[in-house]
Amino acid sequence: MTLPSHNNSAALNKTAVVTGASTGIGEATVRALADAGWKVFAVARRADRLQALGTQTGAVPFAADITHDDDVAALLAAVTEAGGADTLINIAGGARGADTIANADSEDWDWMYKVNVLGTMKITRAFLPMLRENGEGTVLNLTSTAALAAYEGGGGYNAAKFAQHAMTNALRLEEVGNNLRVIEVAPGLVYTEEFALNRLGDKEAAAKVYAGVEKPLTAQDVADVVKYAVSLPHHINLDHITVRPVAQAANHKLIRKEG
């Protein structure tokens, strides 16, 4: 999927910080923005993957855990020293487990809340002064359709993503006076190498998530939507974008073809 670009020459003066950059949608977003001429700071925990991505794309790799205050402070200092950024793209997140609430694993819930909610809050809080000072700053949060409708076995992920969705809406209200653009992109079923595997911990179980779905979204599909949203002229705010494969009319309505 390729969406039309907007004023690619202007991208030469644009700088984005992208979290979750070592895999999946985060990695694809780094590639999409770098290809469009953006300067990109690629942020994730796995330094080896980031170094390879930086070599391939020209992005600046920065290994950090966004749930750790010291890592966030070090990232902010590095970006500041390099001239700052006008766009923060929060993609780091994820799901663990598919248990019912009656069988909920406290460690899974704790991890999901820390990464999806507290991590997003910490890095956003740190970069807000820089984005305000820029005068035309943008924050884009990648949530999920799990933030819009609950489903059985999704309680922990629903709770984390509903919270991230609410935080995004609050941020938009709080920062509009600073001309800060706040965007939410909520993908449905996206096929990536790690999301379902990390959630379920088993390759066979992960494969069943996508079984029979002819064309799930890809990481590149979502990255193209993210790039489009942040590349529009700054006065245009796409408050909320829900993006699903055609086969998925709702979280509970997914067409699978017989194999």
Q: Answer yes or no: is pLDDT of 2 > 90.
A: no
Instruction: Enter the pTM of the model.
Output: 0.92
Q: Residue 214's pLDDT is what?
A: 87
Q: Answer yes or no: is pLDDT of 172 > 80.
A: yes
Longest dimension (CA), the chain: 55
- How many CB atoms neighbour CB 1 within 10 A? 11
Average pLDDT for 235-243: 98
Average pLDDT for 181-197: 86
Q: Answer yes or no: is pLDDT of 198 > 60.
A: yes
Q: How is residue 251 written in tokens?
A: 């979280």
**Per-position DSSP letters for the chain, written without gaps between them:** --PPP--GGGGGG-EEEEESTTSHHHHHHHHHHHHTT-EEEEEES-HHHHHHHHHHH--EEEE--TTSHHHHHHHHHHHHHTT--SEEEE----------GGG--HHHHHHHHIIIIIHHHHHHHHHHHHHHHHSS-EEEEE--GGGTS--TT-HHHHHHHHHHHHHHHHHHHHHGGGT-EEEEEEE-SEE-SSHHHHHHS-HHHHHHHHTT-SS-EEHHHHHHHHHHHHHS-TT----EEEE--TTEEETTEE-----
The Cα 156–Cα 162 span in angstroms is 10
Average pLDDT for 161-175: 98
Q: Answer yes or no: is pLDDT of 230 > 80.
A: yes
What are the angstrom distances between the C-alpha of 249 and each of 161, 214, 241? 19, 14, 15
The Cα 43–Cα 119 span in angstroms is 12
Q: Quick one: 121 exposed, middle or buried, by C-beta within 10 A (0-12, 13-18, 19+)?
A: middle
Q: Regarding predicted confidence, which is higher, 206 or 93? A: 93
Q: Residue 4's pLDDT is what?
A: 52
What are the angstrom distances between the C-alpha of 219 and each of 70, 193, 236, 250? 30, 9, 24, 19
Least confident of 69-73, 110-114, 210-214, 216-220: 210-214
- What contacts 195, CB < 8 A, 6 or more positions away? 24, 94, 95
The Cα 171–Cα 127 span in angstroms is 13
Question: What residues does each domain of the chain span?
Answer: 9-188+216-242
CA 217 vs. chain centroid, Å, equals 15
Chain mean pLDDT for the chain? 92
| pLDDT tens digit sequence for 34-51 | 999 999 999 999 999 999
- Range 9-188+216-242 classified under CATH 3.10.450.50: no
The Cα 257–Cα 210 span in angstroms is 11
Q: Regarding predicted confidence, which is higher, 63 or 195? A: 63
Query: Considering 157, 191, 210, 228, which one is annotated as catalytic?
Result: 157
The Cα 189–Cα 251 span in angstroms is 8
Average pLDDT for 25-30: 97
Q: Residue 193's pLDDT is what?
A: 76
Confidence of residue 202 (pLDDT cuts 50, 70, 90): confident
- Active-site annotation holds for 157: yes
Average pLDDT for 141-170: 96
Q: Answer yes or no: is pLDDT of 192 > 90.
A: no
